[in-house]
Structure 1
Amino acid sequence: MSQQVKITRARLHGSPVYLGEMTGPDGTPGPVWSTDPDAVLGWLCDGFRFRFNQRRSVRCRYLTCQDRNGDRVLVTDPAGVPVLVPIGRTVTDITDAQARRQHSFLAAIPGYVLEATLKTEHTEWFSAAKRRKTNAAAGRRPGAMPGFRRKGSDQRFVCWFNGGRNAVFTKTGRRSGVVMISGANPRTHRAPGLGPDGKPHKLGWRITLHVRLSQPIRPYTSVRVNWTRRRLVFVNEPLPVTGKVSTGEVIGIDRGVAHTVADDRGRFYDAPDTSALDKQRRFHQRRMAKSRLVAARQGRRFWESKRYQAHKSAAAGLAAKQARIRDDFAHQLSTRLVRGHDFIGIEKLPVEPMTRRPKPVRDPNKSTRFLPNGAARKRGLNRSMRNAALARLATCIEYKAALAGVAFVEVPAAYTSQRCHQCGHTARENRESQAVFRCQSHSCGWTGNADTNAAINIREEALTRWAAQQSEQLAGTSGEKPGGVAVSQAGSKSKTDPHTGPAPGPAASAMNREPPNAA
C-alpha cells in the first residue's frame, strides 16, 4: 500500500516563482512572481487541475436521449452504431509545450508535474471503466464515469520521482523528513531585482515540504500532494504478503444492523456508533436546503454565501469522518478474521438493492395523491445499513483472504435466519424477534440467538459448497487442483494428492462441531 504522511510546513528556496500574467488593479496585465510557499503550492495545484481537465476533455461518452416512456436510450447513426460525443463543451488536444505557450501560468510548472497529468487521467478513466464492468457482472449498479475536476475540490497535484530527478525525499530525523520539488522559471521571465547575495536572481527554485513520519519510507515512483488537507502520499508497491500461520479454524459470519457481524460461536462485532456525526451532518444539510428554499421564495437567484460554504464544508468533513470510521472498522475486523481462520463462510447479501428507496404508490382514486409506502421507516433502515458498511466489510475479507490463501465462500442468504441448525426445520415462526430464535418443531425446540443460528447455517452451507467444489475440481483434473492448496484439519497447508484425493479439510472437522450453548 502507498504511504501517507502529514505535511507540517513548506518553505521556498531560490528564485521567486513566476506565476504567469495576471491583471493588476489598474486593469493592465503583467507578470507576477511570488515567494510565498502557500501561493506557489496553490499555483501548482491549479496548474495540475487545469492540465488534467484539458486531457480529460478528449474523452467521449455515448449520446443518449429520452424515449416516449421516459427511459434513457442510446442514439445511433443510420448504420445502427451508437454515437459518441465529447464529455465536455470543448476539446483541447495539445502537447505540454503548446500548453505552456498558450497559457502563461503553466510556463514555470515543473515538467514532471505536467507529465503526471497524463498517467493520472488515464489510470483514473480506465479504472472506472473496469470497475463499471465488474459491478455490472456482479449485478450491482455500474456507477458513473469520472468527470472534470472542479475548482472547489481539494487542491492537489502529482509529481514524478523518475529516478531521483524530482520529488526527492530526505530523512532529517527519527520521525521527520523533507520532500523537495524543484522547478525553474522561463529564461524570458527571470525574477526582477537582486537576490540575497546581491546578484540577479537565478532561474531555479525549490519547494521543501517538511513531513512527519511514522514508518520508514519505501522506494516510490511519485508523490501525491493534497495541500488542502496537508497530506502527502508516497506511491509505491504494496508490501509482500507474509506467510500466514494456518490455524485450521472455520467460521461462519452473519451480517446485520443490530449486530454488524455475528459468528457461529456466539460472538458479536459491532461497528462504532456514528449516529451523532450523522445527526450533525444532517443539521448542516438542512441549513443548506433552507438557504436554497428562502432564495426560491424570495424570487432571487441563489448564490453560495460564506455561511452556506461553511455548512457545506462542515457536512463534507463529517461525512468523510464517518467514512474513515467505517473503513477503519472494516479493515481491522477483516484482518482479524483472516488471520485467525483458514475458512470463512459469509452470506451473499445484496446490500445495494436492499438500501433502495421504496417506489411511490399513487392513489387509484386521485392521481395527484400518493399512498403511504413506508419511505420514512425505510429511510432509517437504509441509513443504518449504510453506516454498518456491510458491503465494504465483505470486500475487505474477500481480497485479504485471497492474498493470505484463506478459503472464502459466499452462500445465498435465503432462509438462513429461518432454518434451525439443529433439525433443519424452516419456518418464519421460528424467528420470534430480531434476537430470539425458537424452533417450532416439536422434536427440537432449540432456543438461542437468531444471528448466531444464522451464522451456523451459513458455515454449514459454505462447507458443503466448498467440499462440492473441491470434488468437482478433483474429478476434472488428474493432477493438482488450481492453487494446489487445501486447508487441512491439522491447520497446515498441504498439497492435494492426485492419487489419494484432497487432504482432510475443514469440512471434516467442522461438520461435527458443537453449536454454542443453547439458551
Structure 2
Amino acid sequence: MSELGLVKRQFGHRARLALSPAEIRVIDDQAHAARTLWNCLHSWWQMMPKDKCTLAGADAAIRQARKDLDYLAVLPAQAAQAVLKTYHRAWVNCWEGRAQEPSFKGRFRTPMSVDIPQGRDLNIVRVHRRWGMVNLPKIGRVRFRWTKDLSVGKKATKDSRITGARLVKDALGWHIAFRIQTLQRAPESHQGPEVGIDAGVNIPLALSNKDHGRPPRLPDGTADRDKWLTPKEKAKLLRLERQAAHRNTFRKPGEKTSRRLQHTYDQIKQLRAKATRRALNWQHQTTTYLARTYGVLVVEQLNILGMTKHPAPRPDPAGGGAFGRNGARAKAGLNRSIAQEAWGRTVTILTYKSARYGGRLVKVPAPHTSRRCSACGCITSGSRESQELFVCKNPDCGWTANADWNAARNILHLYRTGHVIVAVPAAGRRGRRAVTPSNLPQQCRRESPS
C-alpha cells in the first residue's frame, strides 16, 4: 500500500479463443510438450544428487533437452522456463507444508495448458466491439472474445498492465486467461451489517437474516444433480450416457476406445463443462452481492474432505444402519451433492471479494451449528427430523425453522460471542480470541428467536 492510499490489485480474466484447426493442433502439441517437460524435469530432480538439484542445473538440462528432442522444441523457450518456475514453486510449497510433493502428470487426467509469462509479447489490440487480437508465441495473431475492458494500449501503465497469460483447454475449447495488475484506491472500511452464512445442499448459501432469496436464484430442480442444464440439455445428456454405455459393451478388455465412443464422451464432457461454467457464474454473482451488501461475513471452518469420505465398511455385510448396505449409496449421493456445491471455492471467492469492498470474512468453529437450537441454545437428539426441517425437542421451546437458516443464526451468534478461528483480512485489525475448550459456548443458552 502506498502513501497515497493506493493498492496493487491482481486478478485474472478468461476469454474464449477463435482458432483454426491448424492452430488448435499447434497449441495441443505445445501443451503436450509442456506436460512432457514437467515429467522429464521431475525424473531429473529425483535422479540427481541432492547437492546438484539446483535451478541452474535444471535450466541447463531443459535447454539441452529442447535441443535434442524435437517434440520439446515446439514449446516456446519462455513457456519452458515457466514450467521450471512452476515446478520449483511446487517444491517450495511442499517444503513449507502448504501442499504435497509434486508428481508426474498423466496424459488424460491433467488439464492442458501453456504459460505465456511475458505480457509485453501479447500485443493486445481491440479490433471490434466483440473481438480482440492477441499475439501467441509460434502461432501468430489470434482472435479472442472481448468481454472486459483490458489495460492495453494508451491505458497501459507501469502499475496497470497485463503481466502475462496462460492458455487453458477444457471440453469447450481453448481459452486465454490474462493476468492483470492494476493500481486502485484502497477501499474504505465497509459499514454494512453482519451476517452468518451456512453452506448447505437444499439452500446453497443460507443467510441468518433470511436474505438468501435476494441473490441470483438457482434454476428449477434444486435437488437435481444436473440443475444447471435446461430440460432439452438434460434429455440430450441422458441419451448420450445411454449411448456411451451401449457402445462400451462392445469394447473388449484392454481395447482402445473407438472414435465413435470417444466422440460421445466428448459431447458428454461439453455438457458437463457448460453446467460447471453456469454454476461458477452463479457463484460469482452471489458472492459479489454478499460482499457489496455486508461488512462482516461469518462462515464455518468446515473439513470438507472429512465430510465427503466414504463410510467405513461394517464387518457384517447384511448389517443395516445409516452406513449399511443401503446407507452407503445414500452417503455417496450426499458426497456428490457436497462436491457439486463447491463450498471451498465459495469461501475462497468470498475472501478476496470481501477484502476488495472493504469488508472481512470470519470463520467460526463448525461443531453443533446444525444441531443447536438458535432460539434456546439446547442440543437435543432428533432435532433434525429431515434435511430441511429443524424442530427443537426441548419441552420449553419447541421452535421450528428451516435447518439451514437455523445453522446460519448459530454461526452469527458464535461470532458475536467471540468464538473466532480466522479473521480475513487480519492485517491492521485487532484479532478475536481463538476457540478453546474453556471458552466454548454453553450447551443451553437463551436468545430471542427474532
Counterpart residue number, 1:260:
204
- 1:99 matched to 2:66? The reply is yes
Identity %: 25
Match of 1:234 among 150, 153, 178: 178
Question: For residues 239-267 of structure 1, what are the alpha-carbon distances to aligned partners after superposition, in whole Å with 9 as ceiling and x for unaligned?
Answer: 74752562340111222112112111123
CA distance in structure 1 between the aligned counterparts of 2:182 and 2:241, rounded to whole angstroms? 38
State the shift of 1:279 in Å: 8.3
- 1:170 matched to 2:125? The reply is yes
2:365–2:419 Cα contact (<8 Å) kept: no
Q: What letter is aligned with 2:288?
A: T
Match of 1:208 among 122, 129, 141: 141
Counterpart residue number, 1:400:
353
Match of 2:369 among 395, 401, 416: 416
CA distance in structure 1 between the aligned counterparts of 2:63 and 2:317, rounded to whole angstroms? 63
Cα distance change on mapping 1:281 and 1:362 into 2, 3 Å: farther
Q: What letter is aligned with 2:176?
A: L
Question: For residues 326-376 of structure 1, what are the alpha-carbon distances to aligned partners after superposition, in whole Å with 9 as ceiling and x for unaligned?
Answer: 32222222222222112222222222222222233343899xxx9625222
CA distance in structure 2 between the aligned counterparts of 1:280 and 1:312, rounded to whole angstroms? 13
Question: For residues 154-186 of structure 1, what are the alpha-carbon distances to aligned partners after superposition, in whole Å with 9 as ceiling and x for unaligned?
Answer: 7754445464xx432223344433223476xxx
CA distance in structure 2 between the aligned counterparts of 1:375 and 1:222, rounded to whole angstroms? 47
State the shift of 1:303 in Å: 1.1
1:271–1:388 Cα contact (<8 Å) kept: no
Cα distance change on mapping 1:52 and 1:413 into 2, 3 Å: closer
State the shift of 1:304 in Å: 0.9
CA distance in structure 2 between the aligned counterparts of 1:103 and 1:421, rounded to whole angstroms? 66
Counterpart residue number, 2:163:
221
Structure 1's unaligned 5+ residue stretches are 11-37, 64-80, 86-90, 137-141, 184-205, 471-480, 488-511
Match of 2:93 among 116, 130, 141: 130
Q: What letter is aligned with 2:42?
A: R
State the shift of 1:433 in Å: 3.6
CA distance in structure 2 between the aligned counterparts of 1:54 and 1:213, rounded to whole angstroms? 32
Q: What letter is aligned with 2:410?
A: N
2:59–2:81 Cα contact (<8 Å) kept: no
Q: CA RMSD in A?
A: 4.4
Cα distance change on mapping 1:97 and 1:51 into 2, 3 Å: farther
Counterpart residue number, 2:251:
295
Counterpart residue number, 1:425:
378
Question: For residues 403-434 of structure 1, what are the alpha-carbon distances to aligned partners after superposition, in whole Å with 9 as ceiling and x for unaligned?
Answer: 44433222223222332223222212444443
CA distance in structure 1 between the aligned counterparts of 2:383 and 2:318, rounded to whole angstroms? 40
Higher CA-based Rg: 1
State the shift of 1:454 in Å: 1.9
CA distance in structure 1 between the aligned counterparts of 2:269 and 2:400, rounded to whole angstroms? 45
- 1:316 matched to 2:273? The reply is no
The 3-state SS of whatever aligns with 1:220 is strand
**TM-score after normalising by structure 1:** 0.62
CA distance in structure 1 between the aligned counterparts of 2:422 and 2:168, rounded to whole angstroms? 47
Question: For residues 440-484 of structure 1, what are the alpha-carbon distances to aligned partners after superposition, in whole Å with 9 as ceiling and x for unaligned?
Answer: 4344343333322221111111121268999xxxxxxxxxx9633
1:264–1:515 Cα contact (<8 Å) kept: no
Cα distance change on mapping 1:244 and 1:337 into 2, 3 Å: farther
CA distance in structure 1 between the aligned counterparts of 2:141 and 2:388, rounded to whole angstroms? 58
The 3-state SS of whatever aligns with 1:434 is coil
1:58–1:92 Cα contact (<8 Å) kept: no
CA distance in structure 2 between the aligned counterparts of 1:409 and 1:45, rounded to whole angstroms? 43
Cα distance change on mapping 1:151 and 1:103 into 2, 3 Å: farther
Of the structure 1 ranges 305-314 and 169-178, higher mean CA displacement relative to structure 2 is found in: 169-178
Counterpart residue number, 2:22:
39
CA distance in structure 1 between the aligned counterparts of 2:329 and 2:426, rounded to whole angstroms? 49
Counterpart residue number, 2:443:
none
1:257–1:384 Cα contact (<8 Å) kept: yes
Q: How many residues align?
A: 392
The 3-state SS of whatever aligns with 1:59 is helix
Q: What letter is aligned with 1:414?
A: P
Counterpart residue number, 1:193:
none
CA distance in structure 1 between the aligned counterparts of 2:363 and 2:305, rounded to whole angstroms? 17
Cα distance change on mapping 1:237 and 1:268 into 2, 3 Å: same
Counterpart residue number, 2:15:
5
Match of 2:80 among 97, 117, 132: 117
CA distance in structure 2 between the aligned counterparts of 1:363 and 1:304, rounded to whole angstroms? 39
Cα distance change on mapping 1:46 and 1:406 into 2, 3 Å: same
2:351–2:361 Cα contact (<8 Å) kept: yes
Counterpart residue number, 2:225:
275
Q: What letter is aligned with 1:39?
A: A
State the shift of 1:96 in Å: 3.8
Cα distance change on mapping 1:249 and 1:332 into 2, 3 Å: same
- 1:461 matched to 2:419? The reply is no
State the shift of 1:55 in Å: 4.7
State the shift of 1:378 in Å: 1.5
Counterpart residue number, 2:397:
444
Return the structure number with greater strand share: 1
Cα distance change on mapping 1:416 and 1:55 into 2, 3 Å: closer
- 1:435 matched to 2:388? The reply is yes
Q: What letter is aligned with 1:249?
A: P
CA distance in structure 2 between the aligned counterparts of 1:246 and 1:457, rounded to whole angstroms? 23
CA distance in structure 1 between the aligned counterparts of 2:263 and 2:203, rounded to whole angstroms? 35
Counterpart residue number, 1:201:
none
**TM-score after normalising by structure 2:** 0.70
